[in-house]
Amino acid sequence: EAQVTQNPRYLITVTGKKLTVTCSQNMNHEYMSWYRQDPGLGLRQIYYSMNVEVTDKGDVPEGYKVSRKEKRNFPLILESPSPNQTSLYFCASSLDRRAYEQYFGPGTRLTVT
């Protein structure tokens, strides 16, 4: 089944404790992206990647890191999480480098206390 998977689905952590949210797609997609979703703000892009070893900042990259060492994986790293990073996170992928027809994962609910 073609899909985007994220792990974990739910995470509660404390300020400053490094964490990684994994994202994997099995569709051989070129483009991958991370978004955060907050009430009243819609989906905002954190980082994106158009190919292996090619990543770029989105609209809200502060406090986040990403890497794209393999085509299928695009982990999101929070080196020192803060409460303002409490949010619902989505990974997405697209066959097209222009970000057309993006497939979204199921989401990761992160709470930082």
Partner 1 sequence: GENVEQHPSTLSVQEGDSAVIKCTYSDSASNYFPWYKQELGKGPQLIIDIRSNVGEKKDQRIAVTLNKTAKHFSLHITETQPEDSAVYFCAASISYGGATNKLIFGTGTLLAVQP
| Residue 41 interacting with partner 1 (CB under 8 A) | yes
Least distance to partner 1, CB of residue 45, Å: 6
From the list 18, 27, 12, 17, the residue with the least C-alpha distance to 74 is: 27
Is residue 98 at the binding interface for partner 1, with CB under 8 A as the rule? yes
Residues 6+ apart with CB under 8 A from 51: 30, 68, 71, 97
Per-position x/- string for 61-90, each x denoting binding to partner 1 as judged by CB under 8 A, each - no binding = -----------------------------x
Q: Is 103 a binder of partner 1 (CB under 8 A)?
A: yes
